[in-house]
Structure 1
């Protein structure tokens, strides 16, 4: 996949992404206060900042956050979502070319994004913009597969979506991440996360993914019918839970 492909994939998904993608647990920032001595004085670069969901808890912590986002539609959505935070600004940049100054940030974060990055050039760029003893935190909200509803939801994605297996963050294994941080050690902490949805929420969540069949696609109606059947079988009081494990990897480079 070319860099252009990866930066444009979400252009037609922004509205659903903002409405239906999960946010990040407040415990994540609380944990980093202890793990890396995070304070409000840290300057944070959110690379692949998208709609601003990961930047927000750091802004609430009092940090200055610079969002680095190559997709104009996603960057605009993030600017709008975070418009009330004076500490936020965004730039048109990518993980391999952030546009940020040398040794200008204390912490680099990336949420739902690192699996789109080219690791060698990204590591060089992160090393350039980090201050001495700076840290990198890579975060994913990954759907759990240990409940029947979640497993059947996963099966539907494999059946009806294009290239799901090729673009899933599940392709990034711990050993790939350890190689990115090497020779420094990589650390991992997990948190529980959940969304409660009616059927419109389940549909919107599914359609927020770049690989799902959009309106007009030959499989779109069959995809929605399969989701409707799944929801009908598992709903209680017209709601289901989409369960996640939030994975936080952190360390120095």
Structure 2
């Protein structure tokens, strides 16, 4: 995968994007990653990339010319310009399904905004507008890093275990089940016996049920519209009864 980022602060990406799994993906040639300072593409002598909005109003807007010129540069010699993603509070909320979709692409370009907003004409070159949630950040850099991290970890051979991404929270429609490691007992807290049984069928069933339990207790909204299997319906009733008894 090739990822380009257009940013006024390329140094923000120096640490996070070259560490951990994303850093390994770059090192191993799985990911071609580059940050372009679009201030270098402005045509005015002062190197300004923003201006006041027509019609008045507070704040400054990113100008269309530097963004278009930077896009032309990163897309040249590319047979497929790929998807151009604008980080914007008005965009579609990012989730695991979107990460899985983006992970199928060959080329992604992220535009990180600042100031009050964008010249509306910038959107004519954009294929996707993404938001992390109902809040506003100082700029789009942190949002881009989150989307990139969630996407790149899904690429083949990035994670050490291919099953890890499949079993992640949200990938199955449920939150991930609890995990345990050594020691068996710590301060009176004991690893569930089923996980030590060696019976893989029972372990799989326990994990599935506990995923359902965790989702029901912590994110019941995720179960709205969820297509339950016959077994899951039985487990859910058991979970509700078990929770009532504990109370």
Q: The TM-score by the shorter chain falls in which range?
A: under 0.3
Of structures 1 and 2, the one with the larger relative CO (CA 8 A, separation 6+) is 1
- TM-score (norm. length: structure 1): 0.27
Q: Normalized per residue, which structure has more strand?
A: 1
Instruction: Output the TM-score relative to the length of structure 2.
Output: 0.27
- Larger Rg, first or second structure (1 or 2): 2
